[in-house]
Amino acid sequence: MDMNTILILVIGLGFGAGIGVFIMLQRGNPSAQNADQSGLAELKGQLDAITQTTTSMQNSMMSNLQNHQQTLNETLRQQAETTSLKLGNLNERLAVIDRAQEQLKELSSQTTRLENVLANNQARGAYGEIQLENLITQMLPSSAYSFQHSLPNNKRADCLLQLPNPPGPIVIDAKFPLESWYALGQAEDETAKAQARKGLEAAFIKHVKDISERYIIRGHTADSALMFVPSESIYAELHNHLTKALDTSFKERVYVVSPTTLMAILNTVRAVLRDVRMRQQAAFIQEQVGRLLKDIGRLNDRVGKLDRHFNLAQQDIDDITKSTRAISRVSEKIEQIETDDTASQSEQSAQGDAIIAPPIPPRLDNNE
């Protein structure tokens, strides 16, 4: 029930109560009805005034209620828009949170798979070998390395770098004892950490000696080998706390490398291989230059012969030219003789008996 209905009911009840009082007064005192006509008229006027006042109040209240209703509707509309916008933002954030949760689940599953891989000795060794293989294949040409290479002592190396002498082929081992490293990571207090470091140091020294005995073969490999650890944190732990193990590795000529230090070594190896190829190419170039010089000498001889032939041909041409000129002069003299003979015959015809001896032909030069 709204405010307008309540207001109309209140006014109606007040008006009905006034009429009821008036009727009761008339029923209770009939004689006063005739005597109080003026009072009834006055009461009627008051009731009319009350009615007008009530109507005016009703109209005013209706107007106020409409204004309040419009204000309330506008406020509700704005609140609805704000709520809808906030709900949209909340849905977007919830979608982002859902995607993040899915990524966390995927990362958790990958971490679980990695832990399962590292829990197996063979799988853990394969993990280090795969990381080593990725680094080497990215840095060196295929002719510079060999994976799972069989050595003369029937041992199989994880990787063999094919370097020229010196230093010769170098073996890289990727099977670091990670069990002791994980034991150090799981230690909860200093005492447990100290005990775990001793175990890690002992395992490290044993592995270094195994590499030295298996992969350093005099006359077949270099006099040193590399041990690859697949983590920079392991490399830092060795240099910070396991100095005795590092001293043993230096004595055994087994040098520890991490992914970063191995990349630096591979860059050096690539430079060495490039220098070797350049020296090989330089010898080839020298050989080809020697052959080129011999060819140039033969070409020079042939050009000299051709020049001599040209000189002889030029001399022959000059001789031919001289002969041609001599023949031309003789021809001119012969033609002149014929011309002179024709003129003489004409004179003889004109003079009758006059006889003119023929002219003596000119003597030819022997050189012509």
Q: Using alpha carbons, select from 165, 159, 162, 163 the residue that is nearest to residue 226.
A: 159
Q: Using alpha carbons, select from 359, 360, 362, 361 the residue that is nearest to residue 341.
A: 359
Q: Which residue has the higher pLDDT, 334 or 215?
A: 215
**Can you give the pTM of this predicted structure?**
0.45
- Across the strands, what pairs with 149? 157
Give 18's pLDDT tier (boundaries 50, 70, 90): low
Strands 145-150 and 225-228: unpaired
Residue 356: which residues within 8 A CB-CB, separation 6 or more? 344, 347, 348
**pLDDT value at residue 229:** 86
**pLDDT value at residue 98:** 81
- Position 116 pLDDT exceeds 70: no
Q: Using alpha carbons, select from 46, 42, 66, 43 the residue that is nearest to residue 54.
A: 46
Whose structure tokens read 């001289």? 322
Q: What is the mean pLDDT of residues 338-347?
A: 59
pLDDT digits (tens, 9 = 90+) for 242-265: 888 888 888 989 988 888 888 888
**pLDDT value at residue 73:** 80
pLDDT digits (tens, 9 = 90+) for 56-67: 777 777 777 777
Query: How many Cα atoms occupy the beta-carbon half-sphere of 362 within 13 Å?
Result: 13
By percentage, how much of the chain surpasses pLDDT 90?
Answer: 0
Pairwise CA distance, residues 172 & 266, whole Å: 12
Token duo for residue 309: 């032939």
pLDDT digits (tens, 9 = 90+) for 211-243: 888 888 888 888 889 999 888 888 888 888 888
pLDDT digits (tens, 9 = 90+) for 83-111: 888 888 888 888 888 888 888 877 766 65
Q: Name which of 81-85, 281-285, 318-322 the model is least confident about.
A: 281-285
**pLDDT value at residue 180:** 73
- In our burial notation (b when 16+ CB lie closer than 10 A, e otherwise), range 129-149 reads bebbbebbeebbeeebbeeeb
- Position 49 pLDDT exceeds 60: yes
List, in sequence order, every beta strand (DSSP E) within the chain. 145-150, 156-161, 170-173, 225-228, 254-257
